[in-house]
A and B are shown apart, each in its own frame.
Chain A
Amino acid sequence: MDGGLVGPAPGGQEAELTAGTRIEPGRSYGFFTDTTLCIGCKACEVACKEWNNLPADNLGLTGHSYDNTGRLGAHTWRHVTFLETGTRATEMPPYQSNWLMMSDVCKHCDPAPCLEACPTGALFRTEFDTVVVQQDICNGCGYCVPACPFGVVELAPEDGKAHKCTLCYDRLKGGLEPACAKACPTDSIQFGVVEELVERAEARVGTLREQGQADAYLYGTPGAPGATGGLRRLNAFFLLTDRPERYNLPPAPSRPARNARPAFLSGLATMAGLALAAVAIGVGRR
């Protein structure tokens, strides 16, 4: 009857037991994905597919290390990247070393380029400050797909609608931690209130630096790489130890909607100029 879920704490929510956080409308929730803890088990990918009932895709081998998932897409909302670096080391730093692994996900940007592009209002910001596609409204115009700076949103050929990570909107409504974060065995994926996660992440960077890992930094927190060009912050952010490109992340993405104003101004000026020229030429006279 309880669907196999952990029973709620007395007067509480399951998320309080599994993530140590209460889920309340009006606060910002997100993910802190700490790549130094990722062991590449793909439990997040499986948990996401199972909970959200997503069909299998990308069957076959890519030849790209252990990454046969390949990409985020309409049916893949968590994607573990694998990058093998350098030769076998004889001394290992206190974290995953010669292998960069990262569980990629929708960043639930603030502001979100996909949401800013959506002409139907299908993409909206929820009461948990996450970004979700309403499947009963999306008409498959596909404008959110090139708008996303991270290549997250995709149209499904099966139903002609845009799909992406919902940050388990249904689970949040029920007081449950998102499926991927709950399944993560190393706590590489941490779920919580964004402000608290940022504090925890900054402390983690400090700890890693004390342990001798000087390359650790945050991607997507305010003022950091990833939160640039009009993107205030990414509600799902990452701790990285190498250049963002090696995790397939753009180092300084921009909010694409800012290109509209220069285009409209220049375009209208061109039309006005040509209309004046037409008057001078005498267009309209017999």
Chain B
Amino acid sequence: MSVTIRHPALPPGVQQEWRGETYHGRPVTKASSFDWKVSFYIVTLGIAGAAQVIAALARTQHGGAGLARRARLLALGGSIVGPLVLIRHLKTPRRWYNMLRILRPTSPMSLGSWLLAGFGGLSGLTALGAVFGRRSRLARRVADAAQGPAAVAGAGMGIYTAGLLASTSSPVWAAAPAPLAAQFGAASMAGAASALALAQRAAGETASARRLETLAMLATGVELLASRATERAWAAKGLERSITSGAPAVLNTLGGKAVGVALPIAAHGIGRAAGGRAGALLPELASLAVILGGAAMRHAVLLAGNDSACRPEHVFRTTQAARPGGVRR
């Protein structure tokens, strides 16, 4: 049964409208201990996850062997480095394996731990194809069998971190679950396409790199649209202070928007208009900017959520009416 109280049933004598009162201005909720290590993990595993989606597509295309190999290696690298950094964030890191002690369906962090374990294993199997595929038919077959599941797990890796942040009581994270996940997912795809475009250019597969750059630009456009929806939700709920002041503002505007969106569009635009004369420098700069900008955007959201949890007015503004939905027992 759903218990939704638009205006809590306070006695008539009690002031009905909240007029901004707080308890001595003290925080209501507590900020998370999540820091740059968590942001690094979100970005790294987002890129690794989306890389597996691209690897799966490349395996179905004639002439996609080089891209598939590089995407599989990128996914393996990400799924090794990311968790190592993430474990350092635990306050008792030697107990990291307790993450796999239970499966808690209500906890995106528990689901994510199992997803990461599966994704890491599958990335190891697809990497067999990348490393031994030319010599061993068995390695090729194992890798191709693992590729489909790896791509599905990879899509999950690209977005579950947004669901993890959204499933908290930190107002900025919880304000717009659907747009935030679209934003994180698009940034993951843009990052993976850009990283692989750099790899393809280095390998001399320029035409393949250009298609990846087109995908990166499209994903960046989706990210921009989703971020506008997220920011509108923050403004509508009176939470914009957390993203328009301090470090999150600089990271979001200068990093996420200027470096992550404006610079790549300009560089790719000029590069394509100038044709071959501009060489590889402009598109390479654009790809690098997409990756760095996506990282800045994620870190801005992380810091803004921590900031918002410490602002009692944010918590009270977003708890005047309960979020809809039923009780799950």
Q: Which residues of A are in contact with B by a Cβ distance under 8 Å?
A: 62, 64-65, 67, 70-71, 81, 83, 111, 113, 116-122, 137-143, 145-151, 153-155, 159-161, 214-217, 222-232, 241-260, 262-275, 277-279, 281-286
B162:A267 contact, CB within 8 angstroms:
yes
Instruction: Give the contacting residue for B322; candidates A65, A252, A275; CB below 8 A.
Output: A252
Q: How far is the CA of A121 from the CA of B309 in the complex (A)?
A: 24
* B213–chain A nearest beta-carbon distance, Å: 10
B312:A267 contact, CB within 8 angstroms:
no
A146:B22 contact, CB within 8 angstroms:
no
Residues of the A chain whose Cβ atoms lie less than 8 Å from the Cβ of B26: 64, 70-71, 248
Closest 3 A/B residue pairs (Cβ): A140-B91, A267-B159, A160-B91
Query: Given the interface contacts A227-B3, A252-B5, does A117 sit within 8 Å of B107 by beta carbon?
Result: yes
Within 8 A of A (CB), among B62-87: 62-64, 67-68
Q: How far is the CA of A142 from the CA of B37 in the complex (A)?
A: 13
Q: How far is the CA of A117 from the CA of B266 in the complex (A)?
A: 42
Tell me if B208 counts as interface (CB < 8 A to partner A). yes
* B204–chain A nearest beta-carbon distance, Å: 11
* B153–chain A nearest beta-carbon distance, Å: 11
Residues of the A chain whose Cβ atoms lie less than 8 Å from the Cβ of B106: 111, 116-117, 257, 260
Residues of the B chain whose Cβ atoms lie less than 8 Å from the Cβ of A121: 98, 101-102, 104
* A151–chain B nearest beta-carbon distance, Å: 4
B29:A140 contact, CB within 8 angstroms:
no
Partner-contacting stretch, out of B178-186, B248-256, B288-296: B178-186
B167:A117 contact, CB within 8 angstroms:
yes
A259:B177 contact, CB within 8 angstroms:
yes
Q: 10 A-B Cβ contacts within 8 A?
A: A121-B98, A137-B98, A151-B30, A227-B3, A230-B3, A243-B21, A260-B106, A263-B108, A274-B189, A283-B58
A139:B316 contact, CB within 8 angstroms:
no
Partner-contacting stretch, out of B7-15, B138-146, B238-246, B272-280: B7-15
Tell me if B158 counts as interface (CB < 8 A to partner A). yes
B113:A285 contact, CB within 8 angstroms:
no
With A140-B95, A277-B215, A284-B67 known, 17 other A-B pairs at CB within 8 A are A118-B104, A120-B102, A142-B91, A148-B30, A214-B12, A216-B11, A225-B8, A230-B322, A231-B3, A246-B21, A251-B10, A267-B159, A271-B188, A273-B222, A278-B193, A282-B61, A285-B62
Q: How far is the CA of A226 from the CA of B319 in the complex (A)?
A: 10
Residues of the B chain whose Cβ atoms lie less than 8 Å from the Cβ of A155: 33, 91
A284:B178 contact, CB within 8 angstroms:
no
Across the two chains, which residue of chain A brings its CB closest to B63? A286
* A170–chain B nearest beta-carbon distance, Å: 22
A243:B15 contact, CB within 8 angstroms:
yes
Residues of the A chain whose Cβ atoms lie less than 8 Å from the Cβ of B193: 278, 283
A274:B222 contact, CB within 8 angstroms:
yes
* B146–chain A nearest beta-carbon distance, Å: 18
Across the two chains, which residue of chain B brings its CB closest to A282? B211
Instruction: Give the contacting residue for A161; candidates B57, B92, B104, B180; CB below 8 A.
Output: B92
A248:B215 contact, CB within 8 angstroms:
no
Residues of the A chain whose Cβ atoms lie less than 8 Å from the Cβ of B160: 264, 267
Q: How far is the CA of A190 from the CA of B105 in the complex (A)?
A: 34
Query: Given the interface contacts A274-B219, A283-B58, A284-B57, does A141 sit within 8 Å of B109 by beta carbon?
Result: yes
